[in-house]
Structure 1
Amino acid sequence: MTQSRTEHESGNGQQAKPVGLTAAAGFQIGVRRTLPLSVQEAWSLLVSPEGMKLWIGEADGLDLKPGETFAAAEGVTGELRVVKPPEQLRMRWQRPGWNHPSTLQIRVLPAAQGKATVSFHQEKLEDMHARETMKSHWEGALEGLRALADRAGK
């Protein structure tokens, strides 16, 4: 099978770097969405039991403090590293079957007209397949947050 030059080779004949690959952090993905919520409302939704199911899974009783570990019923495990309400979570985050954990950062940023942007940024992913899998996962999590916000009448 031949590969297209635009995907795998730069114009000067050298191999192009795959999308999402960095020298320092391996493969990474970033996904964000602006919600019709204030920063505080978005944070509260994100860390609510319903919101946490979208990005961790079933992980009852997670105390949001640095050093806290979690293991969801679905097999996701990790450790919170940075907790700065209402704006940032940073953690080790690992799916079942992965050889090593990734680094996940979730941010809630102020946006225009009193809205908030929720951002998922994940790095140290093993390969392109993991990157694409996580892109779909985080897009689904953001859709789920929007649905929760809609149900709350926002």
Structure 2
Amino acid sequence: MSTQRVVGQTAAAGFQIGVRRTLSLPQEEAWALLLSPQGRKLWLGEITNVEFSKGSTFETVEGHCGEFRVVKPLEQLRLIWQPAGWLDASTLQIRLLPTAHAGKTTISFHQEKLDNAERREVMKTHWEDVIAGLQAMADNGFTS
């Protein structure tokens, strides 16, 4: 007899969520947008100094903290991310995926090790809002 899981529940890592959207930016510009002060404020929080390198730690004005585990320029960020008020950290992966259409890049947010289905839904809405914000910046002529 197997235990039935709900949407987003994994066998070993709690709950997960993935959100993606294609932006009308080439990969280099999408990467620059993601790491720009305005872009990173959307997904990381308010932070003045942050080093995007493996092993670098951070803490935002809001109290979010974490550590970068993987940094592949133009392609991927993987980090341990613990928002203020959370008892446990989660794993956040951001990928930039080239598309078959020139000048477009798919941005993907994947978060795992979430506590429960309710937190998964909250984070789904959060990442959808983040991507919508990035899309708005791209549509309004962001240049690196």
TM-score (norm 2): 0.93
Q: Which has the higher contact order (CA 8 A, sep 6+)?
A: 2
CA distance in 1 between counterparts of 2:100 and 2:133 reads 22
**Residue 87 of structure 1 corresponds to which residue in structure 2?**
75
**Residue 57 of structure 2 corresponds to which residue in structure 1?**
69
Equivalent residues of 2:70, 2:78 under 8 A apart: yes
SS at 1:113's partner residue? coil
State the shift of 1:74 in Å: 1.6
**Residue 128 of structure 1 corresponds to which residue in structure 2?**
117
CA 110–96 in structure 1, closer or farther in 2 if over 3 Å, else same:
same
Q: Which runs of 4+ in 1 moved over 6 A?
A: none
**Residue 145 of structure 1 corresponds to which residue in structure 2?**
134
Deviations 1:24-48 (A, max 9, x none): 2210000000000111111110011
CA distance in 1 between counterparts of 2:55 and 2:18 reads 24
* RMSD, matched Cα: 1.6
Query: Of 1, 11, 21, which aligns to 1:33?
Result: 21
Q: Which runs of 5+ in 2 are unaligned?
A: none
CA distance in 1 between counterparts of 2:66 and 2:47 reads 11
CA 89–109 in structure 1, closer or farther in 2 if over 3 Å, else same:
same
CA distance in 1 between counterparts of 2:3 and 2:75 reads 39
**Residue 97 of structure 2 corresponds to which residue in structure 1?**
109
Larger radius of gyration: 1
TM-score (norm 1): 0.87
Equivalent residues of 2:33, 2:142 under 8 A apart: no
Structure 2 residue identity aligned to 1:52: R
State the shift of 1:112 in Å: 2.4
State the shift of 1:75 in Å: 1.9
State the shift of 1:59 in Å: 1.2
State the shift of 1:105 in Å: 0.3
SS at 2:6's partner residue? coil
Identity of aligned residues (%): 56
Structure 2 residue identity aligned to 1:90: R
Structure 2 residue identity aligned to 1:139: E
Q: Which runs of 5+ in 1 are unaligned?
A: 1-11
